Amino acid sequence: MKRVFPIASLPLVSLLLVGLPMTAQAEETFSDAQLEVMAGSCANCHGTEGRLAGSVPTIAGRPADVLSSRLLDFKHEENGETTIMDRIAKGFTDAELEALARHFAGIDLENDNEPEE
């Protein structure tokens, strides 16, 4: 359990710490640049543009309401089946999680790099 993401977790923590002060004030709308920074930290585990398939679930192209409800559940600890996403989701405001959900939902999975599922 402690060795699940030994490489990914170190840069992630620093990314989250750097990203927080910038985005803490933000409301419902985020610029493309802000979203790119926020979504970049997800790529450590979910693959470029969230397309990875395997032990970490694919998040690209999934319905936005499914993704956002999963993220909000992780953050507010209403989902017991989590190894790491609870800690990650806590680094974002609810509005940021909803924006991230819409961002990943908008990625077209059919468009190259199709995950093997």
Closer of 27 and 59 to ligand HEC (Cβ): 59
SS (H, E, C) 57-95: CCCCCCCHHHHHHHHHHHHCCCCCCCCCHHHHHCCCCHH
Among 82, 93, 94, 102, binds ligand HEC (CB under 6 A): 82
Q: Which stretch binds ligand HEC (CB under 6 A): 20-28, 29-37, 67-75, 106-114?
A: 67-75
Interface size with ligand HEC, residues (CB under 6 A): 21
Q: Which residues ranging from 13 to 32 are in contact with ligand HEC (CB under 6 A)?
A: none
| Residue 26 neighbours by CB distance under 10 Å | 15
